[in-house]
Amino acid sequence: MRRFPVVRGAQLAAVVLLILPGTAHAQGESRGASIDRFLGSWELMRWVSVNDAGQTTYPFGENAQGQITYTADGRMSAHLMRPPADPADAPPQHLAYWGTFTVQTSAGTVTHHVIGADRPNWLGSDQVRRFRFERDDLLVLSLGQQSLTWRKARR
């Protein structure tokens, strides 16, 4: 199993800047929008995949649930699940990963640098997503044919 060093606070920011030059970090700017727009928790509203023929599918069902969180010190975590139709059903499908994040200003992408995941092939990987903000409370992350719409969590 691959081990990763524990890096905290200012150390993390320095490591991110050294390893990933040319990227925005938790105090940077992104496509004219402050990185602060990412910070906080977001609830999954919709996860959709549209194939080349225009057919829409829902990878974890139309009622998929999830949360993604971005912190000011450059950390992120994401949890997505297909809830069982009946609580007595078998365990739901689940996707979870965490690590650090950076925003690539000129490309309009956010990269999740995966430290831990429930999918072994994601460990140590970079998960790059295109992003756009809609209104003040929606974040859309996309990769290829898949698009995930997140709403800013409110108390």
**What pLDDT shows up at residue 28?**
38
The confidence score (pLDDT) of residue 90 equals 66
The confidence score (pLDDT) of residue 7 equals: 42
Q: How far apart are CA 114 and CA 122, in angstroms?
A: 7
Return the pLDDT at 20: 35
Q: Quote the CA–CA distance of 99 and 12 in Å, as a whole number.
A: 11
- Amino acid identity of 72? A
Compute mean pLDDT per 10 residues along the chain, 155 residues long, and list them: 40 33 38 72 96 92 95 96 77 89 90 96 97 93 96 89
pLDDT for res 34: 62
pTM of the model: 0.74
Burial class (CB in 10 A: 0-12, 13-18, 19+), 86: exposed
